[in-house]
Amino acid sequence: MPPLSIMIKPASSLCNLRCEYCFYHNVSDIREVQSFGIMAEETSENIIKKALEFANGESVSFAFQGGEPLLAGLSYFKHFVNFTKKENELGSTVYFSLQTNGTLITPEWADFFAENKFLIGLSLDGDFQNNSFRKDEKGQNTFYKILKAAEILKSHNVDFNILTVLTGRCADNIDTVYKFFRQKGFRYLQFIPCLRPFGDKTESPLYMTNEQYGNFLIKCFNYYVKDYVRGDYTSIRWFDNIVHQFLGNPTEQCGMCGHCMHQFVAEGNGNIYPCDFYCTDEWCLGNINDENENFDILAHSRKATDFLRESLSVPEKCKECKFYPVCRAGGCKRTREDRDYCDAYKKFFSSCLPLFRVFISEKK
């Protein structure tokens, strides 16, 4: 049985911030029910029992996201972890991770994360100016609250990485952003392209053009290579994966191989979806609280199969492109649906592909 990864939204789309670009707010807005509220213990228990049953002793990963998952409260997570330990009779290796805006983190939260070996993703878009789209309910920049959270996590020896929403502004200011992250000692970074709502073709500083994205990739990759050569490596998730693709190694990030992979996303009421970007009524696979549903049935359902099949189609222009073996049609289909970044990728690979050779020693 393959390892199982489940993303859980314990507070559904509820959030204490009002970020200008929140993709999950846009996703939940087009559902019949925008928020399913805080997840009940019974739903958590059904997820855990059926996940461990499906894994059959293999590893299980529980990743908590939102909205803002910490709104579910510390007692929710303590119950989740304790019940997982109680039910894990077959000895599955269990991994916990959580993505947060950081504004609710306290020493008590950090103690819990450290004790249970949570990997934390902390959302931060760079220095004060570049973090200005990440606002609280009063419209104030949350920059200093996030830095305080990072200090608390560090002081409690909690492993964490930084997730940055890659806006047009961030792409234009990558020199400043990368330097800031290095100065703060943040060595595990993710840059996620900012997405417009489904069907929206708005142009604004939030959304990158092909020129902005191409320039970002070239500049940032050169920093990435220089640090690696100097023995001062900074992990940037997309670059890590694209280098492994070049070397013929397996990739871990969904979509990097050119198509979607099996995923499960559990909403607050137990609804299961095939992808975080597609937690819509159209793609609801079922509900884990249904006694006739389990993860094996959901994985092999017609709707889940259709979702994966949709991502397998390769555009004709990509079949003829010399960069397809590493680009794989631009990866994630949700990003491709938002904008065709073909010109950005061509610009990047044309400029940087020779530099990939410095990583030959990483070939497995």
| Catalytic residue list | 276
In SS3 terms, the chain reads as CCCEEEEECCCCCCCCECCCCCHHHHHHHCCCCCCCCCCCHHHHHHHHHHHHHHHCCCCEEEEECCCCHHHHCHHHHHHHHHHHHHHCCCCCCEEEEEEECCCCCCHHHHHHHHHCCEEEEEECCCCCCCCCCCEECCCCECHHHHHHHHHHHHHCCCCEEEEEEECHHHHHCHHHHHHHHHHCCCCEEEEEECCCCCCCCCCCCCCCCHHHHHHHHHHHHHHHHHHHHCCCCCEEHHHHHHHHHHHCCCCCCCCCCCCCCCCEEECCCCEEECCHHHCCHHHCCEECCCCCCCHHHHHCCHHHHHHHHHCCCCCHHHHCCCCHHHHHHHCCHHHHHHCCCHHHHHHHHHHHHHHHHHHHHHCC
C-alpha 258, offset from chain centre: 17
